[in-house]
Amino acid sequence: MENLVVIAVWIAVILTALGLLMVAIFGIRSAINGKMRPVAVVSMVIPAVLIVLLYFVFSGQDLALAKAAVVTTVVMIVLGIGAVLLSGARGIFN
């Protein structure tokens, strides 16, 4: 059972890294095309800053990077759901 937890944690780390990589690639592409908006820049920087900050928070513990990645993933999912709800509510009132 412990091996399954370690595998699940590393899957979360890999998915977070792939997500950050995709954000960076599409961000660079948008910057080259001149389509960068401040909101887009902030949305690209938030996951990277969050994972680095959480890594330092968990630095004294075992699997610090994995824990930081899992918490970053959960926070980004919650922020994404919140953004969808806020966008939908804004669409209703406009």
pLDDT of 1 higher than 90: no
Which pTM was predicted?
0.62
CA triplet 85, 90, 91: central angle to 5 degrees?
100
Residue 27's domain spans which residues?
2-93
The packing angle between helices 64-93 and 38-57, to 10°, is 150
Q: What does the block give as tokens for 30?
A: 């948008």
Please compute the mean of the pLDDT values over residues 76-82 and round it to a whole number.
93
Q: How many domains does one find in the chain? A: 1
